[in-house]
Amino acid sequence: MSNFESTVSTKNTLIKFYQDWCGHCKNMKPAYDQLSSEYSDDSNVVIADVNCGTEPELCEANEVTGYPTIKYWVKGSENSYNLGRDYSSLKDFVSSTLIIKCDINSSAQTCSDKALKYIAKMSMKSNEDVDNEVKRLEGMEGNSMKAELKNWLKERLGILKQLRGDKEL
């Protein structure tokens, strides 16, 4: 990963450090690959892995002593990941910790221009219209779609739930 420093300093990043011979690494590979694939088009989050057999200097610099070692960076700050290694645990962690959520109360700092336009549009709608849009989008969540569209769907749901005043987003 030749662009390691620039990536972890500018994007929220989850990195698995591994060795080819490691049994635990091999066991978690399908879940990690699925997660990586799901976020491959996300412009704010990077899911990557580093082979310590081919990049020992990078692993040493990151104080990797066992395999797999999973670390994450939020706003350039390094942290150790010590939760589950199954897909569901990894996905929940990325969703709750690494995804930059659009907060309608500080929208200028956290929301894209596209999201700001959506907030303006939906803020003018009635509560019933917002509820209907939430139901419509929730009905689409399980559908097959490109990662970029799925991320936009999730962002819209988050915005609508904030407009509706939901406590859990």
In degrees and rounded to multiples of 5, residue 21 shows phi and psi of -80, -5
Q: Please state, in angstroms and rounded to a whole number, the distance separating the CA atoms of residues 19 and 169.
A: 37
Q: Classify the phi-psi angles of 112: left when phi > 0, otherwise alpha if psi is within -120 to 50, otherwise beta.
A: beta
Give per-residue burial for 109-119: e unless 16+ CB within 10 Å, then b. eebeeebeebb
* Phi, psi (deg, nearest 5) at residue 32: -70, -40
153 token code pair? 């769907």
Compute the chain's Rg from CA coordinates: 18
8 Å CB contact between 95 and 42: no
- Which of 42, 99, 46 lies closest to 71 in space, CA to CA? 46
Please give the positions annotated as active site.
Answer: 22, 25
Token readout for 74 is 């939020």
